[in-house]
Chain A
């Protein structure tokens, strides 16, 4: 059961990260906070999986990273979407929407 949950989160986690970076480059903690805030606390991301996900997405070529100064003069690793990352976000969003509406229909039919 644990594993299944992780899978679900992992599937959506990539999409959530990509979505968070759609507007502007951000560092790790920023992304975590954005996901938490926007989902109104529904998704609280485990920092370990988040950092691993960055590694993965970078390898897929969807994210780029660079070390930059933050507004409070600290060095932080900033991530931004690449061209292929943006395409991937489109694909994943479409997939998600298709699945979500299918599930919604199923639930409605049952009710």
Chain B
């Protein structure tokens, strides 16, 4: 009842302010009359009586105000008045307003854009039912590393666990596929039967595999991704007639997964695999594991469950297994992996930028607060309370920050649309980067936090002034007091410190990048066209390549190379099973035995037994190549010979090794003539004789030291399912022409084979892309922060010059030379910069340690970067102070003295 009355009264007053005011005036008037009448009755003359009555009522104005000020509607009224007032003052200072709004828009926009990335990649849960229950599963090696699962061990995990609702193994690899609209090279995963159940996702069309699908006779089934279905089948509704050839084998399309299902990322084809029919190996780590933990079971319990099984396996098989334990990680975390550091670095940089932007606007506000002291003092004298002033400032700064935030959100929306073009391709989950409610809430929170902080600061400053002094002092007050100038100094110092941190981070990343790019990789990437030539790979039942398949593959490669070699401008055509750097972590590697006269192992069991003698084993990358590969890549022959015509499939199998392997395995000995047995990776147990020694290559990436490599001949060892057969063309002719001619030749010779042309430099730049992206963004932030800091320094110094016009005039009149004035003014900017830089360096020493994993060949406290950045900032500070200094030097002492 009472609340209702409050509301209705208030609303009536608000909607009809005049009538309400009139009623109050009438009541006061009546009160006055009665009071005067009472005085008259006591014998005062009418005039006097009226005066006495008015005296008693107090200033009728203030009584009226008191009555009027009662009720909540007045607060609304005040707020409205404040808003109008804020609007007037902001539009009255368009320069100040524009700079502030743009600065805040930049800060809020950049942080919102980066937050949208962090939100999609790190924060949002996976788009599957109960995503927290989905985990990745590994074996843990004795050195603590997580390794993929071996067939037999996965089988034990699957059968013996008590905590998983579903457990599946899968592997992923590129595959050549035809039968759709055009031949293509896509990502293909073989998955065990629990795979789709783990995600709890049903196909959009068709069905998932039945548990024993891979054992059934006839054409095996394939499930395709939504994008693949759209692109290669035009989204055909009827799946029954759809067939595909994957690596030369026929598959019937059984289902289409819904659009959001993207695991492993970018995968196009899923086919069923029965692990039991594969090898029962306990040390061939071929399978990636995933699982769904039963509802109500924790991650720790699930891990303990698998640990128990792992211990049992170890107890049973002893040295035949190399697992120590099981490792379990939530899938979301596993996907994100090492991009977390990079993303948090970016978020940190952008947060600092926002801080710098705020500092700048705060500096402007403080300056303006100083200019407005008189107006504020007047309002205080007229009875405005602290609360009213605070409200006024908050309304003003919130208006600023809301305008900046709105513009910032627009900026962020634009940036988010551009992001896919510049984000590194290996960033997981980036298709989810959008401006959603969460991101908008972040922007809103940032906007309000900024507005509230700025308003509070301005009000706190204004509330500290001495009213009398402000009213009494003349125009001096207009240019601000020493105290407000000191506060601006503090703000700008903080701004410079934050800027320095961003600059140092950018500097460290930039220098790392330069070092990476200038590191000699051991080959020449220039003028190399790569042609991914995805010949169907015909494997046998155990996944190995038969001698006939190797021969067919080699013949085709040989014929195609010969035709390409004849193209004008082409100097050499190399054959390779995988490109260094470009394929980074996907390069094949493994252990080998050193035989040297011993009998080769007859089977895998024996191979493993012999491998336990560490004096006779080694570990290296396994690379399939042709003799022209080394010439095309510019990898020098150090000793011995390269592959040659006599190295045919039925001759002695040979290997060429890298210097790193020779140094590591045969220090001080001759590596030539050593005989190796490289696992049974390709099912071929023929020993390899080392015939040549070649230069080192940074195969895993420019930031990794060159490791040991064993090169084998493509005529003797075929390219298995894990390779990407590539022809390398070293050419002086224009890329476009060569690609055109090469495409025509290959399409004529092998029309079903998908081709992908690129240059080796492009492929490597893909590897460099994420570092370049990070560098680009942090560099942009650094540039933005630096210009903001310059504006901040300029503002403080220019203001100080204006305030000290008279003083400078006196100095000039007293005979100070221009140099003295320059020193005086620039010195002020330099002092701020030096103090800020000192704080910034101290902060950087603590913060840049977090960057260590992103740096290459440089320490996180690299003195050159620190000194260089501090110098740069100093220069900018001097430049920013020089402009106002020039004005000060030009001061005419006479007019300066008259300045007041």
Which A residues contact B (CB, under 8 angstroms)? 27-30, 32-33, 46-49, 51-52, 55-56, 58-61, 74-77
Contact = CB atoms under 8 A, between A and B. Distances in A.
Interface string B1-16: 1100110010000000
A48 B57 contact: yes
Nearest to A51: B67
A59 to B, nearest CB: 5
Contacts of A77: 23, 26-27, 30
Contacts of A61: 1-2, 5
Contacts of A32: 31
B9 A47 contact: no
A55 B2 CA distance: 13
Contacts of B57: 47-48
A14 to B, nearest CB: 14
Nearest to A28: B31
Contacts of B190: none
A27 B34 contact: yes
B34 A52 contact: no
Contact of A47 (B5, B33, B56): B56
A52 B6 CA distance: 15
Contacts of A58: 9
A29 B6 contact: no
A55 B64 CA distance: 12
A49 B56 CA distance: 12
27 contacts: A28-B27, A29-B30, A29-B34, A29-B38, A33-B38, A46-B58, A47-B35, A47-B57, A47-B63, A48-B63, A49-B66, A51-B24, A51-B28, A51-B66, A51-B67, A52-B66, A52-B67, A55-B70, A55-B71, A56-B70, A59-B6, A59-B71, A74-B33, A75-B26, A76-B34, A77-B23, A77-B27
Interface in B22-48: 23-24, 26-28, 30-31, 33-35, 38
B62 interface: yes
A60 to B, nearest CB: 6
Contacts of A49: 66
Given A29-B34, A47-B57, A47-B63, A52 B70 contact: yes
A51 B70 CA distance: 10
A60 B3 CA distance: 8
Contacts of B33: 74
A74 B34 CA distance: 10
Contacts of A29: 30-31, 34-35, 38
B31 A47 contact: yes
Interface centre among A28, A47, A61, A77 (most CB of B within 10 A): A47
A76 B63 CA distance: 18
B34 A55 contact: no
A32 B56 CA distance: 12
A33 B6 CA distance: 29
Contacts of A46: 58
A29 B34 CA distance: 7
Nearest to B4: A61
A20 to B, nearest CB: 15
Nearest to A60: B2
Contacts of B34: 27, 29-30, 76
A61 B67 CA distance: 17
Nearest to A72: B37
B27 A51 contact: yes
Contacts of A28: 27, 30-31
A60 B62 CA distance: 24
A52 B2 CA distance: 17
Contacts of A30: 34
Contacts of B30: 27-29, 74-77
B62 A48 contact: yes
Nearest to B35: A29
A88 to B, nearest CB: 11
Contacts of B5: 59, 61
B27 A47 contact: no
B3 to A, nearest CB: 10
B806 to A, nearest CB: 43
A55 to B, nearest CB: 5
A30 B2 CA distance: 26
Given A28-B27, A47-B58, 12 more contacts: A29-B34, A46-B58, A47-B31, A48-B57, A48-B58, A55-B70, A58-B9, A59-B2, A59-B6, A61-B5, A74-B33, A75-B26
Contacts of B28: 51
Contacts of B6: 59
B291 to A, nearest CB: 66
A33 B31 CA distance: 11
A58 to B, nearest CB: 8
A49 to B, nearest CB: 8
A28 B34 CA distance: 9
Nearest to A62: B2
A41 to B, nearest CB: 14
B530 to A, nearest CB: 83
B9 A59 contact: yes
Contacts of B35: 29, 47
Interface string B689-701: 0000000000000
